[in-house]
Amino acid sequence: MKDFTRKDLSFSLCGLNCSLCPMRLGKYCPGCGGGAGNQSCAIARCRLQHERVEYCFLCLEFPCSNYVGAEDYDSLITHQQQLSHKRRARQIGIEEFSQEPTRKSEILQTLLAEYNRSRKTFCCVATNRLPLAQIEKIVEQVANHPALGALSMKEKAAYVVRLFENGASREGFMLKLRKKTSSLADLIVFSSLPGTKSRNHMVLIQIALKKNSLVTTF
């Protein structure tokens, strides 16, 4: 997005931990305000009109209408702690707040490298959602597994996933992204946008329309 640049590429303007995002890990996104590859969004555009604050919680209008329903659904990263992260960072200061996501990022890198590269999204959600103390306890439990060296990578991955899922269950939530289902109207609008006339796009839209018992010609 033109003219949208920030210094902190690990913690987004709106309260997401970019360092725990699969898009950032896969080098598809440079991080919030990182230049080329950074997607445009309403909050980034809003920031350009509000003294270019580094974090939304520094704006006098925070939380504003941009945050209505912000935690209801996820994108490629969980949004479930978006506002609480911002409030916590404002309360204790960004330097102290950043210590936890930095440590979580280090643990995430270890998990992906040694146990679970094929479950990148799962590990990102797990390290985002679970408390740091619980994550460190799980990592220690994995490292102390008496037969860890004899397990295949697939078996190690399954063991790690099971520990994280059990931890999330005790906290009362599931380690899954909550995707917002596109409405039929959204699909029709999408089909009219430039660059969306490929055969694959049209097939997907036609399937969705058939499921809604409609016959439409594109």
The parent domain of residue 202 ranges over: 181-218
Residue 218: pLDDT band (50, 70, 90) is very low
Q: 0.85 cut: is pTM over it?
A: no
Q: 178-200 burial, b if ≥16 CB within 10 A, otherwise e?
A: eeeeeeeeebeeebeeeeeeeee
In a domain, 85, yes or no: yes
Residue-wise pLDDT tens digits, 172-184: 888 888 887 655 4
Residue 200 has pLDDT above 70, yes or no: no
Residue 190 has pLDDT above 50, yes or no: no
Residue-wise pLDDT tens digits, 128-166: 999 999 999 999 998 888 888 788 888 888 889 999 999
In a domain, 155, yes or no: yes
Residue 1: pLDDT band (50, 70, 90) is low
What is the distance between the terminal CA atoms of the chain, rounded to a whole angstrom?
A: 31
- SS3 state of residue 17: strand
Q: What is the DSSP letter of 217?
A: -
Residue 64 has pLDDT above 80, yes or no: yes
Residue 215 has pLDDT above 70, yes or no: no
In a domain, 176, yes or no: no
Q: For residues 23 and 75, state if they share a domain.
A: yes
Cα separation of 207 and 218, whole Å?
12
Q: For residues 164 and 188, state if they share a domain.
A: no
In a domain, 3, yes or no: no
Q: For residues 98 and 139, state if they share a domain.
A: yes
Q: For residues 48 and 142, state if they share a domain.
A: yes
Is the separation of the CB atoms in 13 and 54 below 8 Å? yes
In a domain, 189, yes or no: yes
* Number of domains forming the structure of the chain: 2
Q: For residues 101 and 146, state if they share a domain.
A: yes
Average pLDDT value for residue range 54-74: 87
pLDDT at 154: 86
Q: For residues 63 and 154, state if they share a domain.
A: yes
Distance of CA 139 to CAs 1, 20, 133, 135, Å?
38, 16, 10, 6
In a domain, 126, yes or no: yes
Q: For residues 85 and 162, state if they share a domain.
A: yes
Q: For residues 133 and 204, state if they share a domain.
A: no
In a domain, 4, yes or no: no
In a domain, 69, yes or no: yes
Q: For residues 125 and 195, state if they share a domain.
A: no
Is the separation of the CB atoms in 123 and 165 below 8 Å? no
pLDDT at 182: 55
Q: For residues 53 and 131, state if they share a domain.
A: yes
Q: For residues 90 and 154, state if they share a domain.
A: yes
Residue-wise pLDDT tens digits, 101-131: 999 999 999 999 888 767 889 999 999 999 9
Q: For residues 98 and 202, state if they share a domain.
A: no
